């Protein structure tokens, strides 16, 4: 690359600051320019924990990943080919980071976006850049663009603007301004009145920019591909007189169309500052009128007003063209920019079949809903846990007695001591040093047909038996001979007629007292009479009682036969035991962890070695 060039089609940059939108805009620009490789080599995000992470971006329709480093040192070491740093650091840290980049061996150009960098620091940065023959664009700038090659950050705005201003391929005009905002407008104006911009730089509105207007104009002068110069100066400072000098001593020979903004200052109170830190006339020499006059006197093409600027650009360009000095532009239809999916959805341009259907809750609005009821209302109305379970499991506001029943089940099943399968497994797992989730999962995984998980099957078989008109004794025979299995919900390892399970007693009492009717419980108690007459531990157990009484709940609350079937088949009733017993199992896990209990080993004398 020649010294007078800052960027070409292969330029790649390191972006300081995790500016995802600006990064995507740069790569979108690369895509419409038909660059072979994206221009962002790496990103620096000093706040991240890892030395290196990755960020996904689109390059056209394809997704690519860009490394994100914790430090500039790592980024430059891994990407020596990247010779531009676009510095999005805030004004507080921009000085240190820009200095580090200027002092690196690989970074040649630093674009400093931050506004408000102390002038002393800007001057030091400028000095370092001059000494090391490097270029600073900014501070307080949007950056710049080499049409068809490289774009700094958010320069030129949206991709639509880039295309409208024909920035996807180079024209013949070298443009420089102080203002970044005006550079967007000027890129468009130049595209309307010539074959477009070759390079466009906004040096920034501070009093001490890293490089001045003349620095860029002299670069453009040397570049044979640039045929004419356009410059937008600004009230304040004496930078434009350096351009006058260059015109006078012949360092600038190419036609220069220039306008110094701020001519309205003459009708406004003296000393008024125009937006930028440097945009204030401290003396008559610094006024826009004085500068425009000096430039015109020395031969620059200066319009009468800003409104005439476009015409002057056109006249100058047409003249050069008539003289055969303008090479034909290698124009092409820029590739259509794929529209982001989220945007397309917003605009109603695409539709997509969903993969998941959810009918119980929604978290998209301000307030999450449970079965269409706002969580705020649920809390304000002080609804019970039974109510919430009703909404999320059964999609119903359960009647109050049913809510109470659900809560009672959860309380009654919360724990049954450490000896049962679930608690035992959870304890052993916790003592093996495993985490809460693993210990709980290992306990939950024991819940099944013999332990805690007989509720759904109990409901299923008792419902089938009663609804099909089987007598209790026919049901017992059917289970033994046809199904060839123990009746789910009957039998307990330690509870018996003589040692009744108090949980079952409490459940029965509650249901008989509160449920309008309880035909399934009545039926099950008849079955129990027969089974306990055979063996005294073949009682209606806690699983069975929960499931059978739930059949009565569904009956009382007018659930349809199909809904009942779905509730049974989906194992929602076993879910009550899982939910309740998780409370106890977690208690056991915390208990073991609190005690720092040692690894469990089953004593040999509890094992028969045969
Ligand atoms: N027999 C629960 O069995 C247990 C029979 C039966 C007809 C039956 C057994 C069973 C069905 C599943 C069930 C939930 C395995 C139980 C729970 C939560 C818990 C736990 C806790 C908590 C116990 C001996 C003889 C045999 C069998 C006959 C047994 N059950 N006949 N229907 N249901 N029940 N599970 O004592 O002629 O000698 O061959 O599978 O409802 O898990 O606290 O511990 O909160 O944590 O080991 O309460 O009843 O008896 O299997 O040796 O059978 O009785 O056919 O007859 P056992 P087995 P035979 S509540």
Strand, helix or coil at 360?
Answer: coil
User: Catalytic site residue 276?
Assistant: yes
Number of domains in the chain: 1
Atom nearest to 458 CA in ligand 1: 41
Beta-bridge partner residues of 231: 176, 258
The stretch 247-256 carries a mean pLDDT of 98
Whole-number Å distance, alpha carbon 377 to ligand 1 midpoint, is: 44
123-149 burial string, b = 16+ CB within 10 Å, else e?
A: ebbbebbeeeebbbbbbbbbbbbbbbb
Q: Which range of residues forms the domain containing residue 560?
A: 421-589
Q: Is the CB of 574 under 6 A from ligand 1?
A: no
Q: Is the CB of 420 under 6 A from ligand 1?
A: yes
Whole-number Å distance, alpha carbon 537 to ligand 1 midpoint, is: 8
Residue 92 in domain: no
Q: What is the pLDDT of residues 27-71, one digit of tens each?
A: 999 999 999 999 999 999 999 999 999 999 999 999 999 999 999
| Locus of tokens 């509870």 | 495
Task: Give the integer Cα–Cα distance in Å for 7 and 440.
Answer: 60
Beta-bridge partner residues of 189: none
pLDDT at 514 over 90: yes
Q: Is the CB of 548 under 6 A from ligand 1?
A: no
Beta-bridge partner residues of 144: 201
Q: What is the pLDDT of residues 332-368, one digit of tens each?
A: 999 999 998 999 999 999 999 999 999 999 999 999 9
Task: Give the integer Cα–Cα distance in Å for 528 and 553.
Answer: 20
Q: How confident is the model at residue 285 (pLDDT cuts 50, 70, 90)?
A: confident
Which pLDDT score, from 0 to 100, does residue 176 have?
98
Q: How confident is the model at residue 503 (pLDDT cuts 50, 70, 90)?
A: very high
Rg of the Cα trace of the chain? Answer: 40
Taking the alpha carbons of 579, 580, 586, 588 in that order, is the dihedral positive or negative? negative
Residue 330 contacts by C-beta under 8 Å, 6 or more apart in sequence?
Answer: 169
Which pLDDT score, from 0 to 100, does residue 99 have?
98
Looking at ligand 1, which residue's alpha carbon is closest to its atom 45? 416
| φ, ψ (nearest 5 deg) of residue 262 | 105, 15
Residue 538 in domain: yes
Residue 328 in domain: no
Neighbour count for residue 436 (Cβ, 10 Å) = 15
Which pLDDT score, from 0 to 100, does residue 282 have?
60
Residue 315 in domain: no
Atom nearest to 449 CA in ligand 1: 12
pLDDT at 373 over 80: yes
Complete DSSP assignment for 136-185: EE-SS---EEETTTEE-TTTT-SHHHHHHTTTTS--SEEEEES-HHHHHH
The stretch 245-251 carries a mean pLDDT of 97
Residue 485 burial class via C-beta count within 10 angstroms: exposed 0-12, middle 13-18, buried 19 and up: exposed
By the 8 A CB rule, do 495 and 501 touch?
A: yes
Whole-number Å distance, alpha carbon 402 to ligand 1 midpoint, is: 28
Mean pLDDT of the chain: 95
Which pLDDT score, from 0 to 100, does residue 283 have?
67
Percent of the chain with pLDDT over 70: 97
Q: Is the CB of 493 under 6 A from ligand 1?
A: yes
Determine which one of 276, 416, 492, 588 is catalytic. Answer: 276
Which pLDDT score, from 0 to 100, does residue 250 have?
97
By the 8 A CB rule, do 211 and 134 touch?
A: no
Residue 536 in domain: yes
Nearest to 256 by CA among 314, 324, 304, 302: 302
Q: What is the pLDDT of residues 194-241, one digit of tens each?
A: 999 999 999 998 889 999 999 999 999 999 999 999 999 998 888 999
Distance from chain centroid for Cα 189: 37
Task: Out of 486, 489, 506, 534, give the residue to mutate to test ligand 1, the one with the largest number of ligand atoms within 8 Å of its CB.
Answer: 486
Nearest to 558 by CA among 523, 524, 517, 511: 517
Residue 516 in domain: yes
Residue 268 in domain: no
Q: Is the CB of 58 under 6 A from ligand 1?
A: no
Q: What is the pLDDT of residues 382-414, one digit of tens each?
A: 999 999 999 999 999 999 999 999 999 999 999
Taking the alpha carbons of 22, 26, 31, 36 in that order, is the dihedral positive or negative? negative
DSSP-derived pairing of the beta strands 135-137 and 109-112? parallel
Q: What is the pLDDT of residues 521-556, one digit of tens each?
A: 999 999 999 999 999 999 999 999 999 999 999 999
Percent of the chain with pLDDT over 90: 93
The stretch 448-461 carries a mean pLDDT of 97
Q: What is the pLDDT of residues 413-446, one digit of tens each?
A: 999 999 999 999 999 999 999 999 999 999 999 9
Q: What is the pLDDT of residues 548-562, one digit of tens each?
A: 999 999 999 999 999
Q: What is the pLDDT of residues 263-280, one digit of tens each?
A: 765 655 566 555 555 555
Using alpha carbons only, give the angle 507, 509, 513 rounded to the nearest 5 degrees.
120
Q: What is the pLDDT of residues 570-605, one digit of tens each?
A: 999 999 999 999 999 999 999 999 999 999 999 999
User: Measured in Å, how far apart are the chain's first and last C-alpha atoms?
Assistant: 85
Q: Is the CB of 486 under 6 A from ligand 1?
A: yes
Task: Out of 411, 492, 531, 534, give the residue to mutate to test ligand 1, the one with the largest number of ligand atoms within 8 Å of its CB.
Answer: 492
Which pLDDT score, from 0 to 100, does residue 593 have?
98
Which pLDDT score, from 0 to 100, does residue 181 have?
84
pLDDT at 295 over 80: yes
Residue 301 in domain: no
Q: Is the CB of 424 under 6 A from ligand 1?
A: no
The stretch 318-328 carries a mean pLDDT of 96
Whole-number Å distance, alpha carbon 490 to ligand 1 midpoint, is: 6
**ipTM rounded to 2 decimals:** 0.95
| Locus of tokens 């001059």 | 130
Using alpha carbons only, give the angle 344, 346, 349 rounded to the nearest 5 degrees.
40
By the 8 A CB rule, do 250 and 215 touch?
A: no
Which pLDDT score, from 0 to 100, does residue 271 have?
60
Helix (H) or strand (E) holding 62: strand 62-69
Q: Is the CB of 174 under 6 A from ligand 1?
A: no
């Amino acid at each position: 690359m020649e010294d007078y060039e800052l960027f070409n089609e292969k330029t790649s940059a390191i972006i300081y600051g995790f500016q995802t939108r600006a990064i995507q805009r740069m790569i979108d620009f690369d895509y419409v320019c038909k660059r072979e490789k994206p221009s962002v080599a790496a990103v620096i995000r000093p706040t991240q924990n890892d030395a290196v992470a990755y960020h996904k971006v689109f390059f056209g329709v394809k997704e690519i990943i860009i490394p994100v480093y914790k430090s500039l040192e790592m980024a430059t070491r891994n990407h020596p080919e990247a010779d531009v740093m676009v510095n999005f650091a805030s004004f507080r840290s921009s000085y240190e980071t820009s200095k580090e980049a200027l002092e690196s061996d690989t970074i040649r150009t630093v674009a400093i976006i931050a506004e408000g960098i102390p002038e002393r620091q800007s001057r030091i940065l400028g000095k370092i850049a001059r000494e090391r023959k490097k270029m600073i664009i900014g501070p307080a700038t949007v950056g710049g663009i080499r049409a068809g090659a490289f774009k700094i950050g958010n320069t030129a705005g949206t991709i639509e603007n880039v295309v409208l201003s024909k920035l996807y391929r180079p024209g013949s005009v070298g443009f420089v301004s102080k203002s970044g905002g005006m550079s967007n407008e000027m890129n468009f104006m130049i595209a309307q009145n010539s074959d477009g911009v070759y390079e466009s730089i906004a040096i920034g509105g501070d009093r001490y920019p890293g490089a001045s207007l003349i620095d860029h104009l002299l670069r453009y002068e040397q570049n044979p591909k640039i045929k004419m110069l356009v410059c937008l100066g600004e009230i304040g400072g004496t930078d434009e007189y350096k351009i006058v000098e260059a015109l006078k001593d012949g360092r600038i020979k190419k036609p220069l169309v220039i306008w110094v903004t701020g001519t309205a200052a003459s009708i406004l109170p003296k000393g008024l500052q125009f937006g930028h830190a440097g945009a204030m006339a401290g003396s008559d020499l610094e006024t826009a009128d004085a500068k425009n006059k000096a430039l015109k006197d020395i031969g620059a093409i200066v319009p009468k007003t800003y409104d005439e600027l476009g015409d002057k650009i056109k006249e100058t360009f047409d003249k050069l063209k008539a003289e055969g000095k303008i090479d034909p532009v290698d124009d092409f239809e820029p590739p259509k920019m794929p529209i982001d999916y989220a945007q397309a959805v917003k605009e109603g341009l695409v539709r997509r079949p969903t993969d998941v259907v959810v009918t119980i809750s929604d978290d998209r609005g301000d307030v999450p809903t449970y079965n269409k009821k706002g969580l705020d209302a649920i809390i304000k109305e002080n609804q019970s846990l039974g109510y919430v379970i009703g909404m999320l499991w059964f999609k119903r506001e359960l009647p109050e007695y049913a809510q109470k029943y659900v809560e009672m089940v959860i309380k009654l099943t919360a724990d049954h001591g450490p000896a049962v399968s679930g608690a035992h497994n959870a304890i052993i797992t916790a003592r093996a040093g495993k985490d809460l989730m693993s210990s709980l999962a290992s306990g939950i995984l024991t819940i099944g047909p013999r332990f805690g998980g007989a509720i759904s099957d109990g409901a299923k078989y008792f419902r089938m038996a009663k609804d099909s008109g089987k007598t209790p004794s026919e049901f017992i025979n059917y289970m033994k001979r046809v199904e060839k299995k123990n009746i789910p919900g009957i039998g307990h390892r330690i509870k018996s007629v003589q040692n009744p399970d108090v949980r079952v007693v409490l459940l029965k009492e509650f249901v008989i007292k509160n449920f309008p009717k309880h035909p399934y419980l009545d039926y099950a108690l008849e079955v129990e009479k027969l089974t306990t007459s055979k063996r005294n531990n073949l009682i209606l157990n806690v699983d069975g009682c929960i499931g059978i009484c739930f059949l009565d709940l569904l009956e009382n609350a007018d659930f349809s036969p199909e809904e009942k079937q779905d509730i049974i088949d989906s194992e929602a009733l076993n879910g009550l035991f899982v939910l309740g017993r998780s409370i106890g199992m977690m208690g056991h896990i915390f208990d073991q962890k609190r005690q720092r209990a040692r690894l469990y080993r089953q004593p040999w004398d509890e094992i028969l070695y045969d």
